[in-house]
Chain A
Amino acid sequence: MIEIKNIKKIYKRGAEKLYALKGIDCSIEKGEFIAITGPSGSGKSTFLHIIGCLDSPTEGEVIIDGINIKNSKKKDLINIRRQKIGFVFQNFYLIPGLNIYENIALPVLFSRKKNYRKKILSLIEDLGLSHRINHKPHQLSGGEMQRVAIARALANEPEILLADEPTGSLDTENSERIFEIFRTLNNKGLTIIVATHNLDLAKKAPKVFKFKDGLLVK
C-alpha cells in the first residue's frame, strides 16, 4: 500500500548539503504495525512527514495506494492527507478553547464531511474519554490529551496512522496504554507507523525499522 523508492531528503545550508535521508527503500503493507527506532537526528520524523504528505522528498518516489505523490497536485495531496492519513505528535497540540469533542471533530470539519457526530461520539467512547467530552484540553492529564489526539487522528477514518514520539511526554503506564490502543486499532486493520525512542515499547510492534544517519539499517 505504501511504496518507497530510494527517497532522499537534502537540506542545503549555504554550499553545505545536509542529508536527512540518504536513500530509503521499503514497502509497507496494509494492516502492518511498524515501530521506527534510531538515534536523534537519524531521520525518523522526516520519514514520517514524507509518508504523511506533509513534506516531499528531494529525490525518490512515494506511492500511496498506487498514487505517485511526486506527480500529484497540492489539492490532491491535501485530499490524500484528509482521507488516508492521521497524525499523532509528541506534544499533542490540541486547540485550547475548544472542548474535547470539538478538537476531535476538527479534521472532519476540514474535510467537509457531514453527519459525523455519532462516529465522533463512538470514538470518544472507544478511547475512554466519555466523561471528558465537554472539558477543555488544559483540564486533562497528559495521557488523556494524547488519547484525544489519537481520536482526532482517527476522526476521518484514515488508513494509516502516523505517530511521532507519541509517548515522549508520558509516563510508563500511560505510554503502555497508548501502545495498547495502537494494538487494538491495528487489530481492526489500521496501518500504524510509530517513531519512538522507547525500545521496550518498540519491541511490542510486530515489525521494527531501525534508522541510522538517514538510512534504514533494519
Chain B
Amino acid sequence: MTFLKLYINSLLRNKIRTLLTLIGISASIAILFSIFSFNRGFERNIKKETEKTGLHFMIVPSGCPHEVASLILHGAVSPKFLDMDITEKLRSFREIELISPIIVTQAPNIKYDRIDILYGIEFSILKILKPYWDIEGNIPTNDYEIIIGSDIAEHYKIKIGDTLNYKGVQFRVSGIVKRTFSQEDAYVYISLKSLQKLLNKEGKASAIGIRIKNIGDLNKITEDISNKIPGIQIVTMSQVVNSLSVMATSAKILSLSIAIIAIIISAVGVMNSILTSVFERTSEIGIMRAIGASKFDIFRIIIMENILLSILGGVIGILFSVISSTVIEKFLKKFLFYLPSGKLITFEFHIALVCLIFSLFIGVVSGLYPAYRASKINPIEVIKT
C-alpha cells in the first residue's frame, strides 16, 4: 500500500470526469506548447530564411518604412521606386559581389479572377539566390517566361507550358517551384524587365539586394554607400530579422494571452473536478482521518491527485502538439501576415520542461482550495451518520 496507489485510486473512481478534466488540461498545455514552440521556430526560421537569401543588405528608397523594407524580401508591395542608375554606381564598389534589383507588385489575373503577387527579378540572379529550390521544369531563360510557386500551380491547375496573362501580356510557365512552405509558394516570378514594362516603370526597382564579398566589410560599405548615393536607405539583414520579429510581437502577445486564458479555464476545470470529488468522498476522507490520517495527510492526498492529473494532462498535451504540429502550423499560418519557411513546431526539451512546470503550477494552484476543504472535514461529523 502506497500513497501513490491512493491518489490513482481516487482518480480512477470517476473515470469519465477524470478523462474530461484531463482533456481540458491537455488542450491548454498543447496550446501553450505550440505557441512557445511556434514563436521559437518563428525566430529561428526567419534567421535561417534571411540567411538563405544570400543577401547582406537591401537598398530601398529613403522614407520607406523599415517594416515594408523588411517585407519586400518576402513579397510586400512598396509604393516607392528606386532609379536603376544606382546599380551602375554600386558597381564601382569593389566589395560588392552581387546586385539584385527587384520589384514586387500585385497584378490582377483576369482569367482566374484573382490578384497575384508578381516578383520581378533577373532570372540569372534568381538562380544564384535560390539554390535550394526544387524545380519542376526550368528557371525561365527569356522575358516572356515565368516560374511560379506551387500554391499558384495547384490553385489554377497549371502545368508547364501553360500561360498566364497579366495586363494583356501572355507569359509561358517554364517552371514550377516545389512546395517550400513559405510565401514563395504564392509568388509568380517574372523577369524584372517585363515587370518594369507592365508597370511603365522602366529603369526602376522597389529595392536592390546586395551581397558583399566579405561580411566583415558590412559596416564600412553601408556607410560608404549612404554617403555617396543620396535618396536611399540601407536595411541590413539583421535589421530585417529584427523588424520581422517585432512585427510578430502583437501576434505573440495575443497568442500567449489565449494560452493563459485556456490555462486559467482548465485550472478552474481541475479545481471544480477535484472539489466535486472531495465532496463526494466526504465520508471516506473523514474515515481516513479517523484511522490515523492527519489534516496534512489529507491535504497532501488531494493536492497530489491534482498535481498528478495536471502533469499527466501536460504530458499528453505536449505529445499531442508534437504529433499534430503540422496541422497546428497550418492553422496558425492563416492568422499571420508573414511566415518563414520550414517546420516551426518541433520538440524542444526546455520548452517541454517549461510547459510541464506550467502544468505543475496548474495542479498546485487549483488544488490548494479543494485540499484545504478536504483537510477541514471533521471525522466526527462523518461517522455520526
> A-side interface residues toward B, CB under 8 Å?
45, 49, 52, 54-55, 75, 78, 81-82, 86-87, 89, 91, 93, 95-98, 101-102, 105-111, 152-153, 156, 164
Contacts and interface: CB of A to CB of B under 8 A. Distances in A.
Interface of B: 1-3, 5-6, 9-10, 12-13, 283-284, 287-294, 297, 379-380, 383-385
Contacts of A109: 1-3, 6
A58 to B, nearest CB: 14
A108 B1 contact: yes
A81 B5 CA distance: 23
A1 to B, nearest CB: 20
Contacts of A106: 1, 6, 288, 291
A96 B277 CA distance: 13
Given A96-B13, A97-B12, A110-B297, A45 B384 contact: yes
A98 B9 contact: yes
Nearest to B11: A97
A54 B295 CA distance: 12
A110 B6 CA distance: 11
Given A54-B379, A97-B13, A110-B297, A102 B5 contact: yes
Contacts of B288: 95, 106, 110
A93 B297 contact: no
A109 B297 CA distance: 10
Q: Which 5 pairs across A and B sit closest by C-beta, in order of nearness?
A: A105-B1, A110-B292, A93-B287, A82-B292, A97-B9
A103 to B, nearest CB: 9
A108 B383 CA distance: 20
Most chain A C-beta atoms within 10 Å of own C-beta, residue among B2, B12, B383? B383
A156 B284 contact: no
Contacts of B385: 91
B257 to A, nearest CB: 40
Nearest to B294: A78
Contacts of B6: 98, 106, 109
A87 B379 CA distance: 12
A96 B383 CA distance: 16
A101 B1 contact: yes
Given A54-B379, A97-B12, A107-B292, 16 more contacts: A55-B380, A78-B292, A86-B291, A87-B290, A87-B383, A91-B385, A93-B284, A93-B383, A95-B284, A97-B9, A98-B5, A106-B1, A106-B6, A107-B291, A110-B293, A110-B294
